[in-house]
Amino acid sequence: MLVYTITVACRNSHVLSVSAAIIGLSLLAPDASAQRVSFGVVAGGYANRDFISHYIPTPNFNPDIVESDAGGYVVGPSVEFHISRRLSVVLNALYKPLHYKQSASFRDGAVIGFAPATVVTWQFPVLAKYRFALGWARPFLEGGPSFRATGNLNLSNPSHSGVSGGAGMEVQWRRLSFAPSVRYTRWSEDPWSVNVRTRADQVELLLNFTIARFGK
């Protein structure tokens, strides 16, 4: 039995503790000594909006207007535990800043200025990855839970858990591998009490560069 545990402390004093337990690996990998660990870097981007834009009229006051930015980047380290030649477990730690702007100045009831805001997030997907044999390239599918730590909230409170799934193609050269992929994450809903809410559906285009491997 193998148990991997991640603990993340956020800037706003929230603590996110994640335990991913993988049971029965001996059935999937008869020779435990053949297991390998890979380290790499993940970088990518996305085109969807970070937050849900809104226009809320307020009687006798200026309206509350939020406009979300679209597109951004993600980047961070990755570690992969190879259970067998085709099956592995991937852990990412991805830095992803979210952006929006809120109405800040008005003239005669019309907005003339917005204040930008950035919300800091770290994403921690824990994904099972399965490769298919196809000559020099290996297509793969991945899926599992994702967790999110947040800071610098700026009137928001992004949810801390979701589910991710993706697909890609891995090409290996000696001890290096290059794997472009597309990943979809469905986050749980933010608390209804917050003023600025994140979009639950996120799609990211990623490049995973594996830079080292240890083990047989």
20 assigned to some structural domain:
no
In angstroms, the CA 102 to CA 87 distance is 45
Structure confidence by residue, pLDDT tens digits, 138-161: 999 999 999 999 999 999 999 999
| C-beta separation of 148 from 156 below 8 A | no
Q: Is the pTM of this model over 0.75?
A: yes
The pLDDT value recorded for residue 216 is 52
Give a yes or no: residue 162 inside a domain. yes
Tell me, yes or no, whether 1 lies in a domain: no
pLDDT of residue 35: 60
Count of domains forming the chain: 1
Write out pLDDT tens, residues 89-127.
999 999 999 999 988 777 776 777 788 999 999 999 999
**154 close to 119: Cβ distance less than 8 angstroms:** yes
Q: Where is 123: in which H helix or E strand?
A: strand 110-131
Residue 214's pLDDT is: 57
Query: Does residue 9 lie in a domain region?
Result: no
Residues of the chain below pLDDT 50: 1-34
The token pair that represents 154 in the structure block: 């700026």
* Cα angle value 76/139/73 (rounded, 5°): 25
CB 180 within 8 A of CB 200: no
Considering the domain boundaries, does residue 13 fall inside one? no
Render 131-176 in DSSP notation, one character per residue.
E--BTTEEEEEEEEEEEEEEE--TTB---SEEEEEEEEEEEEETTE
Query: Considering the domain boundaries, does residue 22 fall inside one?
Result: no
Domain span including residue 73: 34-215
The CATH number assigned to the domain holding 158 equals 2.40.160.20
Residue 107: the pLDDT is 75
Q: For residue 28, is it within any domain? A: no
